[in-house]
Amino acid sequence: MESHGGRRVCRWMLAVMLALGGCAKLGPDYQRPAVAVEPAWSLAADPRLAAQADPPKWWWRVFKDPALDRLVAAAYRQNLPLQVAGVRVLEARAQLGVAIGGFYPQSQQALGSLQYNQLSQRAVQSAFSHIFNYTQAQLGLGASWELDFWGRFRRAIEAADNDLLANLATYDNALVSLTADVANDYVLLRTAQSRLDIARRNVDTQRESLRIAEIRFEGGTTSQRDVEQARTVLASTEALIPALEIIERQAANALGVLLGMPPGDMSRWLAGSSGIPVAPPVVAVGIPNDLLRRRPDVRLAEFQAASASAQIGVAKADLYPAFSLTGQFGVLAADVGKVSLSDMFDWRARFGSVGPTLRWNIFNYGQITNRVRAQDARFQAALLQYQNTVLTAQREVEDQLIAFLKSADRARLLAESTEAAGRSLDLAVLQYRQGITDFTTVLTAQQAVLSAQDTLANTLGDIARALVGVYRALGGGWQIREYNDLVPPTVRQAMAERTDWGRLLAPANVLPDAAPGSARLPDW
């Protein structure tokens, strides 16, 4: 009777625990914090900006430069830091699987043993038994399941969910930076090449001026001062060439590393185009609210805040008792007396136990409470970081827009200045040949032409780099990874050969408009 009563109590407790387990979920449910976002860009009225049009996903194509398109595509396939970010996403997928597994019976074991036992003949049991050695065999199953009574494991899954989304946002952010860095280095290289062409053309012109000065000096129509002045200006212009060659070579080396290659000859990658990339007459920039979904670093900050929010619930669960179900079943036999090891498969050799257990850290409340407080502080810091990231994103867009528009205005004025300087040089040379003016006027005009042309070329590069900065600030470029593998086939194959990854190496189909905690997919 007592045995049947104990079973009824045990069954009642099990029913209550299973019914209540999973009802509660401690900690706050994440809500996106309010952020200050302007309805439109401050320069939206400028006719060169299309504020209502979405920025292009593959924004580098607006330059219509095949070499740039080829470089970006190669960098996406080959860049090593991007591959590191992709592997981190795969790691986060596996960690999410670990968190999901924690929701189910945490301990599931098959047990087995075969032991020969030699007991002391001088121990206490020797007074009650004359059996001092025997062999015992055992087979069984054991399991322990801590019920998610307070939502500890569900909050842990939420945190892992958001960690996965945060790692994917980190990958996207690396892709945004990669495409912008490739474009920036390419523009820098083309700008250096354009400036080199200008310097070399001016060297040719100044050499001709030096030849004329030497002829006139030998003919006695001018002084040696004109010759020395011409040599001075020529040497100064020639000195620009090595400095610009340094910039060109370093930009090419930077492109090589971005493409996952050692520095070397980049001519085959640069073939098919030349000159500084030209920005389109109208640039689509969208509206500030788009930043919340377009910029990966904004999404990253939000997912980190959502993960920190879920961790509060994980920490709070330690304040309350943990209820578990434990059970064990098996067979056991020993070669003692009339019993033999073969009897372990007899039904009477069975043993088992099942029932609830309770664990409660009742004397550690100070430590647990402060862990909750610490996690709450991390969550609050993450919320503030998210708000600051949104503000910084808006500032970066505004900075790049003003740089783009004003660089274009400056280039227009510099083009007029360059044309005027060219005309002034032509007049100075003509007047010098006619003896109306001295050679110093010619040299001054030559220097003015070189300065104007070089400044204009540099400013044209500034326009292109500013537009690259606009699209970087708008969060463009990550879309190139949609429905593609996170790591190249060679890396994926190497990982699959080492470890059974199941379907976790599949493309990341989670898009940026996913809500925090929405990355959990059954096949992951």
Task: Give the pLDDT score at 374.
Answer: 96
Is position 43 within any domain? yes
Res 440 pLDDT > 80:
yes
CA torsion angle 158 160 161 166 (round to 10): 120
DSSP state of 143: E
Is residue 407 over pLDDT 50?
yes
Encoded tokens for 348: 């009477």
Q: Is residue 517 part of a domain?
A: no
- 216-227 pLDDT per residue, tens: 888 887 788 889
The count of structural domains within the chain is 1
Would residue 236 count as lying in a domain? yes
Instruction: Report the candidate in 2, 455, 441, 7 with the shortest Cα–Cα distance to residue 213.
Output: 441
Q: What is the pLDDT of residues 218-270, one digit of tens each?
A: 888 778 888 999 999 999 999 999 999 999 999 999 999 999 999 888 989 99
Percent of the chain with pLDDT over 90: 55
Task: Look at residue 134 and tell me if it is in a domain.
Answer: no
Interacting residues of 177 by C-beta distance below 8 A, sequence separation 6+? 472
Q: How confident is the model at residue 513 (pLDDT cuts 50, 70, 90)?
A: low
pLDDT confidence tier of residue 123, bands split at 50, 70 and 90: confident
Average pLDDT over every residue of 282-295: 90
pTM: 0.87
Residue 125 lies in a domain: no
130 inside domain: no
Radius of gyration of the chain measured on its C-alpha atoms: 38
Contact 254, 75 (CB under 8 A): no
User: How would you classify the pairing of strands 49-50 and 283-284?
Assistant: parallel
Distances (CA, A) of 90 to 83, 84, 510: 11, 10, 13
**How many whole angstroms separate alpha carbon 225 and alpha carbon 208?**
16
Residue 414, Ramachandran bin (φ over 0: left; ψ between -120 and 50: alpha; else beta): alpha
**Tokens describing residue 201:** 């053309």
Q: Across the beta sheet with 107-118, what order do the strands follow?
A: 107-118, 133-146, 322-334, 350-359
**138 located within any domain:** no
Q: What is the pLDDT of residue 149?
A: 87
3-state secondary structure 64-78: CCHHHHHHHHHHHHH
Q: In this structure, what DSSP letter does residue 358 have?
A: E
Q: What is the CATH number of the domain that holds 232?
A: 1.20.1600.10
Range of the structural domain that residue 468 is part of: 2-103+148-321+360-498
pLDDT tens for 444-467 read: 999 999 999 999 999 999 999 999
In a domain, 204, yes or no: yes
